Amino acid sequence: MFVVAVGFGVFSLVVSPFLGKMKPNPTKLEPYECGIPTVGTARSQIFVRFYLVALLFLLFDMEIVYIIVWALAMTYKANAAVPGFVLYSMIVMAIYMAILLIGLVYEWKKGALEWN
Amino acid sequence: METAAYVPAINLHGILPFISLLAGGMLCLAADAMSGKEGSRRILPVISFVALAAALVSFLLPGYPTGSFLENTFYSDSFSRLGCIVILVSAIATTLMGPRQVIRRNLPSGEYYTLIVFAALGMVLLALANEMLSAFVALEIMSLSLYVLTGIDRRSGKSAEASFKYFILGAFASAFFVFGSGFLFGSTRTTFLADAHNYFATRGGNMPEGAEMWAFIAFGLVFVGLCFKLSLAPFHMWAPDVYEGANTPTTLYIATGSKVAAFAFLIHFAHAFSSWQIFTAPVTFIVGLIAVASMTWGNIAAIVQSNLKRMLAYSSVAQTGYMMIAVMVLVALPSLQAAGNLNATTIANDTTLIYNAISLYLAGYTIISILAFGIAFHIGGEGSMAAYRGLFHRKPFAAVGMAIAMFSLSGLGFLPPTIGFIGKFYLFKEAVRFNMTGIAVIGILTSVIAAFYYLSLIVTMFMKAPDEENGIELAGRREERIAGLGGGDAIVRVMLATATALIFVLGLYPGLFTGLAAKAVTTKPMTTAMVKK
Q: What is the dihedral of CA B151, B155, B156, B157, to 10 degrees?
A: 90
For residue B234, give the amino acid letter.
P
CB contact under 8 A, A82 and B5: yes
Q: Do A106 and B5 touch (CB under 8 A)?
A: no
pLDDT at A5: 92
Beta carbons of B30 and A106 less than 8 Å apart: yes
Q: Is residue B274 part of a domain?
A: yes
**Tens digits of per-residue pLDDT, B64-118?**
888 888 888 999 988 899 999 999 999 999 999 998 889 888 899 889 999 999 9
The pLDDT, as a whole number, for residue B521 is 43
Q: How far apart are CA B524 and CA B521, in angstroms?
A: 9
- Percentages helix, strand, coil for chain A (3-state, rounded to 5) are 70, 0, 30
Residues of chain B contacting residue A102, judged by C-beta atoms under 8 Å apart: 26, 29-30
**Residues forming beta bridges with residue B307, ordered by sequence position:** B384
- At B7 the pLDDT is 84
- What DSSP element (H or E) covers B68? strand B67-69
| B387 domain-assigned | yes
**A8 three-state secondary structure:** helix
Question: Does the pLDDT of residue A36 top 60, yes or no?
Answer: yes
**Cis peptide, bond prior to residue B208, ω within 30 of zero:** no
Q: Which residue of B has its CA nearest to A91?
A: B7
Put simply, the chain B residues between 23 and 62 with a CB less than 8 A from any chain A CB are 26, 29-30, 32-34
Given this model, what pLDDT does residue B510 score?
Answer: 85
3-state SS, residue B76: strand
Residue B190 per-residue DSSP state: -
Contact B240, B315 (CB under 8 A): no
Flag if A79 and B5 touch (Cβ within 8 Å): yes
pLDDT of B155-166, one tens digit each?
Answer: 889 999 999 999
**Model pTM score:** 0.89
- Phi, psi for residue B10 in degrees, rounded to 5: -115, 125
* Beta strand segments in B107-176, E: none
| Nearest Cα to Cα of residue B22 among A64, A65, A98, A88 | A98
Q: B372-381: per-residue pLDDT in tens?
A: 999 999 888 7
In angstroms, what separates the C-alpha of B154 from chain A's closest C-alpha?
Answer: 16
Q: Is B339 on the interface with A (CB under 8 A)?
A: no
pLDDT confidence tier of residue B525, bands split at 50, 70 and 90? very low
Give residues with Cβ within 8 angstroms of A26, minimum separation 6: none
Average pLDDT, chain B: 87
B309 contacts B150 by C-beta, under 8 angstroms: no
Q: A-chain residues within 8 Å CB-CB of B36?
A: none
What is the pLDDT at residue B531? Answer: 40
pLDDT over 90 at B228, yes or no:
yes
Q: CA nearest B216: which of B265, B279, B271?
A: B279
> Mean pLDDT, to the nearest integer, of A36-42?
74
Residue B528 reports pLDDT greater than 60: no
Over the stretch B19-53, which tens digit does the pLDDT of each residue have?
A: 999 999 999 999 998 888 888 888 999 999 999 99
Asked if residues B100 and B154 have their Cβ atoms less than 8 Å apart, the reply is: no
How far off is chain B from A20, nearest CA to CA, in Å?
33
Is it the case that residue B472 has pLDDT exceeding 60? no
CB atoms within 10 A of CB B496: 25
Answer yes or no: is pLDDT of B143 > 80.
yes
CA distance B159 to chain A (A): 21
When pLDDT is averaged across residues B474-487 and rounded to a whole number, the result is: 59
In this structure, is residue B2 part of a structural domain? no
Higher pLDDT, B387 or B176: B176
- CB contacts of A111 in chain B (<8 Å) are none
Q: Residue B412 has what pLDDT?
A: 78
Question: Given this model, what pLDDT does residue B85 score?
Answer: 94
Structural contact between residues B488 and B378, judged by C-beta atoms closer than 8 angstroms = yes
The whole-number pLDDT of residue A33 equals 61
Domains in chain A: boundaries: 48-109
Q: What length is written for chain A?
A: 116
**pLDDT band at residue B469 under the 50/70/90 scheme:** very low
For residue B415, what pLDDT is reported?
Answer: 73
Q: At B494, which helix (H) or strand (E)?
A: helix B490-508
Note the pLDDT tens digit of each residue in B295-344. Answer: 999 999 999 998 999 999 999 999 999 999 999 988 888 777 777 666 54
Task: Label residue A25 by pLDDT band (50, 70, 90).
Answer: confident
pLDDT > 70 in chain A, percent? 95
- Model confidence at B386, pLDDT cuts 50, 70, 90, reads confident
Q: What is the distance between the alpha carbons of residues B287 and B325, in angstroms, rounded to a whole number? A: 8
| C-alpha angle A109-A112-A113 in degrees, rounded to nearest 5 | 90
Query: How far is it, in rounded angstroms, from Cα B102 to Cα B528?
Result: 50
Residue B483 banded pLDDT, cuts 50, 70, 90? low
Structural domain includes residue B236 = yes
B6 in any annotated domain: no
For residue B126, name the pLDDT band (cuts at 50, 70, 90).
very high
- Residue of A3, A87, A109 to mutate when probing chain B, most B C-beta within 10 A: A109
Residue-level pLDDT at B529: 38
- Residues of B with CB below 8 A from A83's CB? 7
Q: Between A and B, how many CB-CB pairs are < 8 A? A: 42
Q: Residue B447: name the closest of B245, B295, B282, B272 by CA.
A: B295
User: Which tens digit of pLDDT belongs to each residue from B390-423?
Assistant: 888 888 888 999 999 999 998 876 678 889 999 9
Question: What confidence score (pLDDT) does residue B524 get?
Answer: 43
Question: pLDDT-based confidence at B138, cuts 50/70/90?
Answer: very high
**Residue B34 is nearest to which of A2, A82, A109, comparing CB atoms?**
A109
pLDDT score recorded for residue B533: 33
Would you call A102 and B29 a contact, using CB atoms and an 8 Å cutoff? yes
**Mutation for testing the B interface, residue in A90, A102, A113 having most B CBs under 10 Å:** A102
* Interface check B10 vs A, CB under 8 A: no
Q: What is the rounded distance in angstroms from the CA atom of residue B452 to the CA atom of residue B353?
A: 31
Question: Is-contact B498 B422, C-beta < 8 A?
Answer: no
Instruction: Kindly state the average pLDDT of the residues A49-78.
Output: 86
Peptide bond into B249 cis (omega under 30): no
- Alpha helices (runs of H) in B151-247, residue ranges in sequence order: 157-188, 193-203, 211-229, 238-245
Residue B385 lies in a domain: yes
ipTM: 0.77
Do B283 and B331 contact (CB within 8 A), yes or no? yes
Report how many domains make up chain B.
1
Residue A56: predicted pLDDT: 84
pLDDT surpasses 90 at A42: no
The verdict on A80 touching B (C-beta cutoff 8 Å) is no
Q: Can you tell me the mean pLDDT for A15-33?
A: 79
Banded pLDDT at B127 (limits 50, 70, 90) = very high
Instruction: Please indicate, yes or no, if residue B362 is contained in any of the structural domains.
Output: yes
